[in-house]
Amino acid sequence: MKNISILILILFLFSCTKDNKKPEYYKLVLVETSDVHGAIFDYDFINDRNASGSLSKVQTYLTGLRKNNNVVLMDNGDILQGQPIVYYYNYDNVSNEHICSKVMNYMQYDVATIGNHDIEAGHAVYDKLNNEFSFPWLAANAVKESDGLPYFEPYKIINKDGVKIAILGLITPGIPDWLPEELWTGIEFNDMVESAKKWVPIIMEKENPDLLVGLFHSGYDYTYGNVDYDSYKNENASLIVAEQVPGFDIIFVGHDHYTWNEKIKNINGDEVVILGPANSARQLVTANVELKLNSEGKYEKSITGNVIEMNAYKADSLFNLEFKNEFNEVKEFVSKEVGIFENSIHTHEALYGPSEFIDLIHQIQLEISNADISFAAPLSFNSVINEGPVYVRDMFKLYRFENFLYTINLTGEEIDKYLEYSFANWFNTMKNENDHLLLFKLDKNGNPEYSEKYNSYLLLNNYYNFDVASGIKYVVDVTRPVNDKVTIISLNNNQFYMDSTYNVAVNSYRGNGGGGHLTNGVGLSKKDLIDRRISSTDKDLRYYMMKWIEEKQSVKPILKNEWSVYPADWWLKAKQKDKELLNK
């Protein structure tokens, strides 16, 4: 009996050794989705039409891929904002399991990194999801203020047939510059390079992985936002980490909504593959990995990156069947009539000058806040709300993000600086009537740069930072140099004083320093931003806009004509010229 027990023990130990033995040759496919922004179904709830990308299409691709491949499925953040379905589960249907945890568990995600728009949903939402997910949500550099330990998991180890894969998650550290502190209370966001330098040695020593993967909710272009390679807490530090922190084989990026499939060398001369897909599940990226064991017991690696377009796939029918009740519930929610618009409004007009679209936002912000002055910018490039019935879905065209509305104190001089900053990043200094009105990104010949990807010429800066004011009358002179374009004439029909203090309505993104208007433009510190805040809404601005329209029942958006561009004939000619470039 004793001999039999020993034999069983030997067989068991042999079996364990055999299971843990590294395969001499192994192939696997790493799959990344990122910046899905609620694109779960092949239906656009906002525009009431089919969607080009969706997780339902990703599921079709995965079903085929998993038949013959070892697959690791990853998401890289920003799924909780965008389409009304996630808004509904974030804030309306909060008692049931969240649609994202239902769907991602169903799809068998192995790991994910949290994104800034997931944090934007607030503690109640992302803490709930973190408990509902059957996989870990990563962010090694999002640490607790209390003890410095990661608030989420720092990394994940995945074993595939004896092959050990380590995945380190990092989130963009710019969140305190964009979001109210109540959304991330108790969390600090550390520099990505510093955090990677801390965690990679820990992972290497403790786990000894065969493959080290970065899953970073952060972009590739470190110059974005007029910063440079050495800027501390760079918003888009993925390439910097890849170069400066040896050990990574692959880094998956996100946040910037661009497509990346690059190979770079790190400081040790080792090759790192960098991959990232476009937003809204229109693409996913894969890393095909081949591992061959050498005589030293280490894997020689061959890694090929691929970008997969989802418009080539149909939605998975079983996926749609599984979640048909959730789909129908949200479709009913967005189809509820809110009120009536007596004329159509277009965000695109706001890129060139005064517009009914932005003036309607101003009107709502001023009435909600009782402020003297309102600042607002177009949050989408080409949204249209047609005259006639307005539905809940249209509220996502009127206001894209879940910002709060702040009321803050600014002096007249600071309001002037705010506007100067906005127009310095928006309007060109025109030399003659044939010049451009807008600031375009220029090619090496000094001409506007054309993008094949977007089938359009590229603006130098982001349109969602093109703020204008309401409550004051002013003129923008495009012949004047930067920081001397704006002349404020009056506060409505009253005198405007540079040394007087005014109550100003701004969204929470701007009120926390987003875009740099209040920090780089006005010169306020982080402490100043907090001290200047008089009040904040307790729900997102879209919610209050919807209630405002419901109360009015019928709304006629009008052009308030509070500001103008001089010289008018130059403006009209340049406006038409630039419209053709952006709509070409």
C-beta neighbour count of 269 within 10 angstroms: 7
CB-based contacts of 101: which residues, under 8 Å, 6+ apart? Answer: 129, 132, 133
CB-based contacts of 558: which residues, under 8 Å, 6+ apart? Answer: 356, 359
CATH hierarchy code of domain 336-583: 3.90.780.10
Considering only CA atoms, give the Rg of the chain.
26
At 564, list the tokens.
Answer: 């103008």
Domain boundaries defined on the chain: 21-330, 336-583
Architecture of domain 21-330 in this structure? 4-Layer Sandwich (3.60)
Can you tell me whether residue 189 is helix, strand or coil? strand
- Helices (DSSP H) in 137-280: which residue ranges? 192-207, 238-244
Residue 6, amino acid? I
Taking the CA atoms of 15, 16, 17 and 22 in sequence, report the sign of the dihedral they define: positive
CA distances from 315 to 31, 40, 522, 547 (A): 18, 10, 49, 35
Each of the 584 residues of the chain gets a pLDDT tens digit; together they read 445 444 444 444 444 444 458 999 999 999 999 999 999 999 999 999 999 999 999 999 999 999 999 999 999 999 999 999 999 999 999 999 999 999 999 999 999 999 999 999 999 999 999 999 999 999 999 999 999 999 999 999 999 999 999 999 999 999 999 999 999 999 999 999 999 999 999 999 999 999 999 999 999 999 988 899 999 999 999 999 999 999 999 999 999 999 999 999 999 999 999 999 999 999 999 999 999 999 998 999 999 999 999 999 999 999 999 999 999 999 999 999 999 999 999 999 999 999 999 999 999 999 999 999 999 999 999 999 999 999 999 999 999 999 999 999 999 999 999 999 999 999 999 999 999 999 999 999 999 999 887 788 999 999 999 999 999 999 999 999 999 999 999 998 899 999 999 999 999 999 999 999 999 999 999 999 999 999 999 999 999 999 999 999 999 999 999 999 999 999 999 999 999 999 75
Bridge partners, 391 (sequence order): 337
Backbone torsion region of residue 185, taken as left when φ is above 0, otherwise alpha when ψ lies between -120 and 50, otherwise beta: beta
C-beta neighbour count of 312 within 10 angstroms: 9
Bridge partners, 163 (sequence order): 160
- Our CA angle for 546, 367, 561, nearest 5°, is 100
Phi first, then psi: what are they for 69, rounded to 5°?
-140, 155
Question: What does pTM read for this prediction?
Answer: 0.92
CB-based contacts of 346: which residues, under 8 Å, 6+ apart? Answer: 355, 357, 382, 383, 384
Residue in the block written with tokens 């069983």: 8
DSSP class per residue in 317-328 = HHHHHHTHHHHH
**Contact between residue 425 and residue 434 where contact means Cβ atoms under 8 Å apart:** no
Phi first, then psi: what are they for 461, rounded to 5°?
-130, 170
Backbone torsion region of residue 67, taken as left when φ is above 0, otherwise alpha when ψ lies between -120 and 50, otherwise beta: alpha
CA distance 275 to 156: 19
Core vs surface per residue 414-439: b (16+ CB within 10 A) or e: bbbbbbbbbbbbbbbbbeeeeebbbb
- Our CA angle for 264, 270, 271, nearest 5°, is 35
